[in-house]
Structure formats: C-alpha cells, structure tokens
Structure 1
Amino acid sequence: MKIINSATLQTIEAKSVDVEASFTNGLPSFTIVGLASNIIQESRDRVKSALLSNEFKFPAKKITINLSPSEIQKSGTHFDLAIALLIALYETNVVFNDFYIFGELSLDGKIKDSSSIFPIVLSLTKQKLVKNVLVSKESAKKLSKIPNINIYCVDNLDMAMQFFKFDNKEKFKYISSSFECESFSILNKSYYFLKDYELDFNEVKGQKYAIEASLIAAAGSHNILFEGSAGCGKSMISKRLKFIMPPMSLEEILEKAKLQSIDLKPIDFSPIRVFRAPHHSSTKSSIFGGGSGNSAKIGEIALSNNGILFFDELPHFSKSTLEALREPLEDFKVLISRVNSKVLYDTKFLFISAMNPCPCGNLLSISKDCRCSDLEVQRYKNRLSEPLLDRIDLYVVMNEPSVNEKVYYNSMQLHERVICAFKKQKQRAQNDLNGKLSDKEIKKFCKLDDSSSEILNKAIVNYKLSFRSINKILKVSRTIADLNNNENITKEDLMKALSYRKR
C-alpha cells in the first residue's frame, strides 16, 4: 500500500491527511472513502480522464482510495494529483517520502491551482509539518513567498510521474521571489510598506482635527468613531486610512494572503492592509462567522484581522451585532461554537465607525434644519451601549466644512509620521501596536512623567474614569508621544489624549 501526504482545510487551519491506495482482485471499481465531500467524489471522473488522456491503461482492479484520518471531513479539488499518482505509479517502486502533494487535474492531465492550496501550505508550515511540496507552477508562484519550504512544480500529470521516477529533482525546484516594495529591519525582523496612495488625504478639505485623530488611530491601531452631519467627510477619511497604515511583517502579509484565498479573492501580497466594510443590513453570521456542523464559515471580523473593519451608519447595525462586537474589541479573539466544531479567530483589527448625530443627519449642520425630536435623537443614540462605546479609543465630532476650507495634509506626510511612530514602538520590543497592548504591557511601555501623572489623577476624579478608560487614555497618549518623538508621555501628550475621549 502506497501513501501520499496531503491535507484539508478546516475553516482557517489545515489538518494533515494521508492519501492511501489499495488494489485488490475483484470487479473493477474506483471508490474514495474517508468522509470525502462531493467535490472529492467528483475527482474520480477527473482522475480517470486525466490518466486515459495520457495513454495510461486503467488497472482492472478494485481500487480503494482512503483519506485518513477518517473522522475528519475533507473537501477540496487539490486531492486530484495525489490520487492520480497513486494509481499511475502503483506498479512501481516509487516512494513518495516526505512530499506533500497538491493540485487539481483538468481532463487532459494539466495541473491547476485551487483556492485552498495556499492557506493549507501556510498553515502546515506554521505547524512545522511540511518541508517539501509538489504543486503546479501557478500554485508555486504563490507559495514561493512562504519561507523555509522547498517548492517543486510540474505542469501536467506526466511530468509529475517523471518527477518521482528520476532522482534529479532540482530542475523542478521553484526559486522564490522577493517582495517588490520598500522595507526596513528592526531587531532582526523585516517590515514592508508601499508608498501608493490611490486615495489621498489631499482630497479632504478642512477637518484638521479629524485627520489628526485618524493619524493617531493609524499609528497606534486605535478604534475610532466619527460623528458628523451627512457629507462632512466621515467615509472619505475612513477609506483613506488604509493607505497610511503601519508597515506589515512577512507573517502579516502571508496571513492577509491566506484570508484573501479563503475569501476567494485574488492574492496580491501587497503590504497595504485589508479594508472590510460590511453593510449595516449584513447578518450577524456574515460578520462574525457561522455555518453548521463541520462547515463553519469565516466572517468579516476574522477577514479584517491585521487590517481595518469599517462600520458606516453604526447605529443602523442590529443590536445583537453591536453587542457581540465587545469580545473581539476587548480580547482580540472571537470564538464560533457549533455542535461539531469550535473555531477561534484572531481579531486584531482597527475598528473605524461613523454615524450621524441624529436620524435625519442635520443636528450639527449650520445650513440645514434638524427634523428630529429630542426623543428620536435619544432613541437613535441609545442604540449604542456604554460598554461598546467604552471600547472605542478616539471619539471625533466633525463639523460641516465651509466652501473656503483649505487642505492641511497629504497621505505621504501622514504615512511618514506613522512609519516613524511604528519604528519607535518596535524598537521598544513591542509585539503589538499601542492600541492593542495588554494591561501588563501598558504598565511597561506607557510611562508618565510627574506632571502628566498629576493631570491623569485629576482626570480620574473629575471625569469618573473607569479602569478601561484609564488604560485607553494611556494607550492613546503613548501613540501621541511616539508621533511627537517623546520618550515618555508628557503633559501635552496626555492633554491631547483626553480631548479625544467621549464626553
């Protein structure tokens, strides 16, 4: 019995699978067992056609393909190549050793990529289970970005058979390529960034206070809420934030690519962070993930990890969705539990939200009259609970811009300041940005001088600040200090942080 190493994807993590084949006497048949999905069952016809198209005579045997362990549900077209090789080479002395084999077969024997191959190999690499991989050239181009693995590629089934028949495998090896972007290293770790401003802040007139708050949010990954009349620039500023976000490490770029592949989106490997903006009519399951049994699906919360999650018209999201945001905003993880599966997602995203001051949107307008009663305004604002608002670091009220407003900043200026602040955070050996620091890390990195400590103590008494609010102010102050190139948090840094709290 021959065995080939492969794997299946369970939501976002891979499980190693042994593809086994047995050939016994009896009526000719071809069976796949081991909790294989309909997609895998259909591979029998693809494998038969691919083998017959390459002048291979199908054995007159009872062929059984087993996917082990049998208690795990398997899915994906990437098992095609492994199954075909087991059948094609069953009479030879070929040993597949420690190769993991992935690839979908076309009917003429060509090997194709599939959306699940990249996340599977990346997950196996993190688990230190894979060293050598055989895939198509299309797959190899993506996998070449993953470090510490040997990638071999073939075009068709015949080349795959030759690969295992001959000892010289180096000519099939795919040479990895580097990222085409700027980078720098801090403490022996590389970070990548791109000066590409498709949407630029030089298109935003006025709103100096809001743009400065956006700079702080980007530099420290602080959650931010914009409140203002319709058309004042809330969405405009939010959509430009992703282009000035901090540089990304190789692990973050690969994680982003993995989530893109799972979401069936093209993989770009760019160091521009992802921007997810679900509509307020989206269901809770589509935002947090859902499904049943073994088919749990990833949601917007997990897909925005290491990026931006933007909720426009925040009060119009369902009450259950807004309250469920508490856990991912506080713990940076969300657990999706089902009868047969439990999946834990990382949720270290920058949460940006925008809302009108009232249902009609004109409460803060200087040119339009508000049509809402006091009761309607109160009901509108009551849709946002205090525990949810307490998890938002920066609260910005935006005024209606006038015709003669000038442009204060462009994206390149802001991005350079973000990069400088990012370097200061990483030089302190922080694993996370300031906005995602734990309580223990806050005590270590957010140090106050004497005058700022006195101001904070007064603010705690006067504003009746909760423990979470104190930590929130300290984290924002730390980012402002980094932007101002201050070693410790000064009085000015703390005062500015206090100005962004919700009153």
Structure 2
Amino acid sequence: MKKLNCATYEGIDAKVVDVESTLTKGLPSFTIVGMANISINESKERVKSALLSNDFSFPPKRVTLSLSPSDIRKEGSQFDLSIALLIALNASDADFSEWFVFGELGLDGSVKENLKLYPLILSLANQKIITKAIVPFESLEKLSKIPNIEFYGVKTLQDATELLSNQEGISPSIAQTEIAYPFYEIKGEKYYYAKEYEDDFSDVKGQEVAKRAALISSAGFHNILFEGSPGCGKSMIAKRLRYILPAMKTEEILDVAKLQALEAKPIEFKPHRNMRSPHHTSTLGSVFGGGSFKAQIGEVGLAHNGVLFFDELPHFSKTILEALREPMQDNRIRISRVNTKVEYPSNFLFVGAMNPCPCGNLLNEHLECRCNEKEIQRYKNRLSDPFLDRIDLTVVMQSVDAKDKASVSSKELHKQVLEAHHFAKKRGQDNFNAKLSDKEIENFCALDIDAKSVLDMAVSKFALSFRAIKKTQKVARTIADLEKSELIQKSHVLEALSYRRR
C-alpha cells in the first residue's frame, strides 16, 4: 500500500486527507472510496488520460484509492495529482508518506492551478501540520508568501514522478519571499503597514469630535456608532477607517489573502484590513454564513481582522442585529445545521451609522423634522440595549456648516495609530484594547487615584453595567496609549465617558 497526503475543506478550515492506494489481482477496475464527490470521481478519466499520454501503462489490476477519514465529504480537483502519482509509482520502494501533493491534471498530463489551493495550504500551515508540498508551478509565487513550508513546483506529471523517485539532493523550487511593505519589529514579531490612502480624512471637513472618536476606535479596535443627519459624513468617515488601522502581523496578512481566495478574488499581500459593508436587505445566511450540507462563510467571517460596516443600522432586521451580539462579544461565529457544525473566527471592528429619526432631520438646524414622537421612538427601539451595550463609542455628528474645513489627513491619523499600537505592544499586550479579557484589563488598564474616583462616581450616577465599566476602562486605555501614558488618568476616563451612549 502506498500513501500520499492531500486536503479538503471542513467548514472554512482544511482537513488532512490520506490518499492510499492498493493494486490487487482481479478483473481490471478503478475505484475511489471515501465519500468523494463528483469532481473527484471525474478525476478517474483525467488520471487515466494523463498516465497514458505520458508513456505510463495503466496497470491491468483492481486499482482501489481510499480517501480517509471516510466520514468527511471530499471535494475538489486538487486530488488528481496525488491519485495519478500513487498509480504511476506503485512499484517504487520510495517512502512518500510525509509529502503533501496538490494539483489538477490536464488530459495531456500538465499540472494546473486550483483556485482553492492557497486557502487550503494556508489553513494547513496555520495548523502547523505541513512542511513540504508538491504544487503546480504556476502557484509558486503566491504560495511562497506562506512561511515554514518547502514548495516544489511541477509543470507535468512526469516532473512529479521524477521528483518523488529521486528525493535525495532536491531543493525547494522557490525561496520564501518577504512582504514588500514597511514594518516595525517588537519582540521578534514584524508588524507591516501601508502608506496608501485611497480615501483620505482630508476630504472630511469639520466633524472634529467624530474624527477624534474615529482615531480612538482605530487605535484600540473599538466598536463605534455614528448618528447624524443624512450627508453629514458618517459613511465618509467609516470608509476611511480601514486605511488608518493598526499594523498587521504576517499571519493576519495571510488570513486576509485566504479570505480573498475563498471569494475567488485576486490574492493580494497588502497590510490593508478587510472592510465588509452588507446592505440592510441582506439575509441572515449571507451575513453570518450557512448552508444545508456545507457551511459557507458570511460577511461577518469575511470581516475577520478588519471592519464590518452597517450603514442605516436600524433598517437591518431585528434577527440580524441580535445575532450580531455573539460575534461582537466572543469574536467567533458558530453555525449549527443538521448536517454540519462549524465555528470560525470573526474578530472585527464594528462600525454602525444611523439617522437620528426616520426622516433624518431631527438634528438638522436648517430642516424641519417630519416625524412624530411615536415614530422616532419606534425607530430607535429597533436597537436593543444589549446590542447598544456592545458599542464602545457613540458619536452624534454635527450639522454641516459652510465654514467647515479639513483639519487632518489619514497619514497623520495613521501615524498616531501606529505609535499607540507600538506603545501597547511594548507593554507586552497581545490583543487590541477593545478585545482585552477581564484578566488582561487588570494587568494593563491601571488607573491612577483620580481616574478611579471619577469612574466610581460614573458607575453610581449613570448606573453603568459591568460590561459598560469594562468598556470605559478599555477606551480610556486607548486614549492613554495615544498620549503614551503608562497610567490611565482622570482626563482619559472623562473623555471615554463622553462617548458613552446617553
């Protein structure tokens, strides 16, 4: 029996599949077992043609290929090359058991790229279960970004058989490449950032309070809600947030590339965090993911390590808003179906935007509001207190004035965010301030005497919940980081409290 390794999806993560073969006496046949789908069963014809086209004789025996574990559905054309190699090298004494092999075969024996290859291998790398792999030659450039794996590129089936037949003295086809962006290094970890601002804060005139809140939100990854009249700049600010977010580790950049591959988008290796902005008419399944037999990733999962922006927030269905509470709190999504149960990370910065009333003119100094008290209350009641309690910063936008001017650029704001991020990392902190656990809050959110006194007064006066107290401390920690202060001071707590929902 011969064995090679390949992989398939289980949810959005890769699961190792052992590809095993036996050739026994009997009437000639070719069988693939192990819950293989149509694309894998069709590979029998591709494999036969590729072998015969490259001077290999198809053995006149009972050929049985097993894909284990047999209780997981397998799909994808990446199994072609491993199946063909096991048949072509059935008489070889070489050991292939440590090799991962990926590739789709053409009828002429050429090895083709598979769009699912990158996220599969990246997932295996994140699980630290792959060290060397045979892959299509045309995939090498993209795959070389993944660290700690030796990649051997092949153009044809013949190349792959020669490689496995003569394993001694071979070397990887391509050296691992560094990400070509500036970075700073803290405790041996590199953090990359891009000085590219497609949408710039210099376009936003006025709204100084909102821009300050956006800076704090970006530096600490705090959830934020903008409330204001139509056209006052809510969406403008939200769309510019992604360009001033903190620097990214290599793993985060690779995760973004993985999500791009899952969406069949061109893979980039930029230190730009994702931004997802679903429409308020989106269904529950499209926002959170789902499916009867295979759980597909939704907008919440695609926003991992980036921004999830809900414009016209109260117009989203109550079901979606209440379901959003779990990933906002736990940074994970769990999808349970009859046929599948999947959990995937969703560590995002939530940004919401809403009008103050159904017509939008309640806060406008020049236009009259057409809504009555009941309509305004019904509109605001779409957002429950438990949901709003998960928002760290709430900003009421100012009315637009002809005298408003631009005051700061994205480059200037980004510099402050990077300095605050650097300051927090030097403190030994792994998570963003908004994502700190209760134990981490005790370790990193130390208040001086005056700051603690102010917070205690706020708790009794505003009846803050336990979650609200912790969020105030975390926002104050971010404000202190922006000022490079080790201790949280009174002014930091007061500013943090000013962004609490009233």
So what's the TM-score if we normalise by structure 1?
0.96
Helix, strand or coil: the match of 2:382?
coil
Q: How many residues align?
A: 502
What does 1:373-412 align with in structure 2 at a 5 Å threshold? 373-412=372-411
Residues 382, 51 of structure 1: CA spacing in aligned structure 2 closer, same or farther, 3 A cutoff? Answer: same
What does 1:329-340 align with in structure 2 at a 5 Å threshold? 329-340=328-339
Q: Give the structure 2 partner of residue 104 of structure 1.
A: 104
Residues 167, 324 of structure 1: CA spacing in aligned structure 2 closer, same or farther, 3 A cutoff? Answer: closer
Structure 1, gaps ≥5 residues long: none
Q: Which amino acid aligns with 1:473?
A: T
Q: Give the structure 2 partner of residue 477 of structure 1.
A: 476
Q: Which amino acid aligns with 2:210?
A: A
Helix, strand or coil: the match of 1:16?
strand
Q: Give the structure 1 partner of residue 274 of structure 2.
A: 274
Residues 1:414 and 2:413 are matched in the alignment: yes
Query: Shift in Å at residue 50 of structure 1?
Result: 2.2
Q: Give the structure 2 partner of residue 229 of structure 1.
A: 229
Query: Shift in Å at residue 66 of structure 1?
Result: 1.2
Q: Give the structure 2 partner of residue 211 of structure 1.
A: 211
Q: Give the structure 1 partner of residue 443 of structure 2.
A: 444
Query: Shift in Å at residue 383 of structure 1?
Result: 0.3
Q: Is the 8 A contact 2:275 2:306 kept in 1?
A: yes
Runs (4+) off by over 4 Å: none
The 1-side partners of 2:172 and 2:465 are apart by 61
Q: Which amino acid aligns with 1:501?
A: R
Between 1:243-252 and 1:166-175, the stretch displaced more is: 166-175
The 1-side partners of 2:233 and 2:402 are apart by 13
Query: Shift in Å at residue 171 of structure 1?
Result: 4.8
The 1-side partners of 2:115 and 2:367 are apart by 51
Query: Shift in Å at residue 358 of structure 1?
Result: 1.2
Q: Is the 8 A contact 1:9 1:116 kept in 2?
A: no
Post-superposition CA distance 1:138-185 (Å, at most 9, x none): 332222222222111111211111112224553553211111000111
The 1-side partners of 2:482 and 2:140 are apart by 41
The 2-side partners of 1:406 and 1:25 are apart by 84
Q: Which amino acid aligns with 1:93?
A: D
Post-superposition CA distance 1:103-150 (Å, at most 9, x none): 112232222222322222222223332211110123322222222221
What does 1:196-345 align with in structure 2 at a 5 Å threshold? 196-293=196-293, 295-345=294-344
Between 1:399-408 and 1:25-34, the stretch displaced more is: 25-34
Between 1:1-10 and 1:415-424, the stretch displaced more is: 1-10
What does 1:139-218 align with in structure 2 at a 5 Å threshold? 139-168=139-168, 170-218=170-218
Between 1:169-178 and 1:263-272, the stretch displaced more is: 169-178
Q: Is the 8 A contact 1:154 1:172 kept in 2?
A: no
Q: Which amino acid aligns with 1:140?
A: L
Q: Give the structure 2 partner of residue 346 of structure 1.
A: 345
Q: Give the structure 2 partner of residue 126 of structure 1.
A: 126
Helix, strand or coil: the match of 1:65?
strand
The 1-side partners of 2:325 and 2:171 are apart by 53
The 2-side partners of 1:375 and 1:163 are apart by 75
The 1-side partners of 2:378 and 2:230 are apart by 19
Q: Give the structure 1 partner of residue 24 of structure 2.
A: 24
Between 1:342-351 and 1:254-263, the stretch displaced more is: 254-263
Q: Give the structure 2 partner of residue 457 of structure 1.
A: 456
Post-superposition CA distance 1:446-472 (Å, at most 9, x none): 111111111111111111111111111
The 1-side partners of 2:49 and 2:279 are apart by 44
Q: Which amino acid aligns with 1:333?
A: R
Q: Cα RMSD over matched residues?
A: 1.5
So what's the TM-score if we normalise by structure 2?
0.97
Q: Is the 8 A contact 2:150 2:172 kept in 1?
A: no
Query: Shift in Å at residue 59 of structure 1?
Result: 2.8
Q: Is the 8 A contact 2:200 2:410 kept in 1?
A: yes
The 2-side partners of 1:273 and 1:126 are apart by 19
What does 1:79-118 align with in structure 2 at a 5 Å threshold? 79-118=79-118
Between 1:35-44 and 1:261-270, the stretch displaced more is: 261-270
Helix, strand or coil: the match of 1:367?
coil
Between 1:86-95 and 1:239-248, the stretch displaced more is: 86-95
The 2-side partners of 1:255 and 1:129 are apart by 17
Q: Is the 8 A contact 1:8 1:120 kept in 2?
A: yes
Structure 2, gaps ≥5 residues long: none
Helix, strand or coil: the match of 1:344?
strand
Q: Which amino acid aligns with 2:190?
A: S
Query: Shift in Å at residue 64 of structure 1?
Result: 1.8
